[in-house]
Amino acid sequence: EIFEEKKMSPENREQINAYLSSIWNYLIEQIAISRHISKDSLNAFASLLAVKTAPEALKYRLIDSALYKDELIHQLSLLSNHSGEKLSLVTPEDYLTTLPDEQQATKNCIAVIYAGGSITMAQDDEEDNIVAEKLAAVLREVRKDSSVNAVVLRINSPGGSALASEIIWREVQLTSRVKPVVASMGNLAASGGYYILTHATTIITNPVSLTGSIGVFGVLFNTAPFLEQKLGITTDKVNTHPHADMFSMTRKLTPEEKQLMQKEIDRVYHTFVSHVSEGRKLPYDRVKEIAGGRVWTGMDACRIGLADSTGGLQKAIETAAQLAGLSQYTVKELPEASNKWYFLLNDLSGRLTSWFSSSFCEQSLLMRYRRALEEYQGIQMRLLTLPELN
């Protein structure tokens, strides 16, 4: 409806309200347990804007104290029996590096694969997205690697290309037949981002992850009016067959072509529902009831069978170890981080490219728009709008 309507449909408003209410109820439940404050009181604080400042947060027991930095250091000094001048502070990251690695001596390995962003077929993608062939290659690599006992696939994605999602889904399916694959959802694993996880051995989600959105749509843009009216560019064509230029973005679809497009959308949607039904062991008709593009929180996903349990990445790793029968193991993170010089040069290259593009190649903006249009062309499994949490 983002392409056709000017405001939310009643159905969309209903699902977003349910999503936000689920998150809010989870948050106040956790705060109520932690701070020993009733949920009714927390709801009243929110409705009346009762907590706007640190003193008010202290008054209503949402915090234990309000201190300046020097006062905090003094408190830490008292706890550690050091004077403020001698107090040595380290970041959590630095502290973790000092902990002994009890699993260093084992050859057992769990591969953690990170995949975030839109799912795309574009090999030359310049954004931090999930490129189908690249992620598929990583999955094939860990599947064939005998030293990898289990896989954790960490996903943070709104979905994207249906074809790209299918390619990744197939590799996840094949890998799960050989070794345990634990899917771990970040903030978002919706539409195509959920599609690729359906045949994981088990799915673990954060309680407030946004997931589901089991739905498909198709977009074919007609840019001819924009090109002619705004840029003075006209287009013409020579075809060998009536539908040869169906995907050219320079004309409207014919009624026959719209029918063909709808038929393909219906076919892909049936495949999506079937994958969920088979992977999650749910009746096909039950999946259709919870599909239709509706989004769910992680908690709701567990309740309706789209996920198995709630937890973070660490729980996913521990679950993978249990499924593989490992008591000791190392964790191999993929894609492997490049060395610091690569990041430095890559960042410098990106800055130079951006500077030259903005200074000397104003048409690059048009190229970016064209690339975006091409990325959205065809059949999509993509969550287009995300509820904003304030």
Tens-digit pLDDT profile for residues 183-221? 999 999 999 999 999 999 999 999 999 999 999 887 777
Contacts of 212 (CB under 8 A, 6+ apart): 190, 194, 290, 291, 294, 295, 296, 301, 306
Tens-digit pLDDT profile for residues 50-107? 999 999 999 999 999 999 988 888 888 888 777 656 677 788 877 767 766 554 546 8
Tens-digit pLDDT profile for residues 259-292? 888 898 899 999 999 999 999 999 999 999 999 9
How many Å apart are CA 205 and CA 211, to the nearest integer?
A: 9
* Residue 381 and residue 190 in contact, taking contact as beta carbons nearer than 8 Å: no
Please, what sign has the CA dihedral across residues 18, 21, 27, 32?
negative
Tens-digit pLDDT profile for residues 104-146? 546 899 999 999 999 998 877 666 789 999 999 999 999 999 9
* Residue 181 and residue 150 in contact, taking contact as beta carbons nearer than 8 Å: yes
Ramachandran quadrant class, 212 (left: phi over 0; alpha: psi -120 to 50; beta: rest):
left
How many Å apart are CA 312 and CA 152, to the nearest integer?
A: 11
**Domains recognised in the chain with CATH numbers:** 10-96 (no CATH), 109-337+358-382 (3.90.226.10)
Contacts of 296 (CB under 8 A, 6+ apart): 19, 210, 211, 212, 290, 304, 306
Q: Which of 105, 78, 104, 80 is nearest to 90 (CA)?
A: 80
Q: Which of 199, 221, 211, 204 is nearest to 316 (CA)?
A: 204
